[in-house]
Amino acid sequence: MKKLNLLILKYKKEEFNLLSLLEETVKVKGFLSFETLNYISKNLKIPLAKLYGMASFYSFLPTAKTGKYVIRVCNSPSCYLNGSQEVLEILKKFGIEVGKTTKNRKFTLELTSCIGCCDSPPAMMINNKVYKNLDKTKIWNIIKGLK
């Protein structure tokens, strides 16, 4: 809560930049819970509906508790045509499904829009690291490496 207060103070003073505030809040809190957003809304006098609308718009602002690793598979045309669906199928074999968090709270899988790797598709992000040119063995190694 202290950290959140500091953040809010910072953004009250500085030029108003809601997106970065929410981004930094995610870094501190892990995700944007009802309580967190409500707190921000009360303090900055921005309607909660607006904040939630914004948070739900961006893939990188989770509004529910996520696993330790958040996997984001690119679903934009370049990756889609080059096998992003197969990537999802391989991940499914590990029990990781789109929009869900695994039971041991280790992985969350989401689809995302372009992450700027159209030159080497298919691509995905795990937390802040980008993995390109995915194929079966690569994915196996990555996921095994995380366990």
Q: Is there a contact between 42 and 34 (Cβ–Cβ < 8 Å)?
A: no
Torsion of CA 106, 51, 35, 113, to 10 degrees: 0
Residue 53 interacting with other proteins (CB under 8 A): yes
**Residue range at the interface with other proteins (CB under 8 A); choices 13-21, 32-40, 89-97, 115-123:** 32-40
Binding mask 55-84 for other proteins (x = CB under 8 A): -xxx----x---------------------
Minimal CA–CA distance to 147: which of 132, 120, 125, 126?
Answer: 126
Query: How near is the Cβ of 133 to other proteins at its closest, in Å?
Result: 26
Residues whose CB is less than 8 angstroms from the CB of residue 24 and which lie 6 or more positions away in sequence, other chains included: 7
Residue 114 interacting with other proteins (CB under 8 A): no
Query: How near is the Cβ of 115 to other proteins at its closest, in Å?
Result: 15
Query: How near is the Cβ of 25 to other proteins at its closest, in Å?
Result: 15
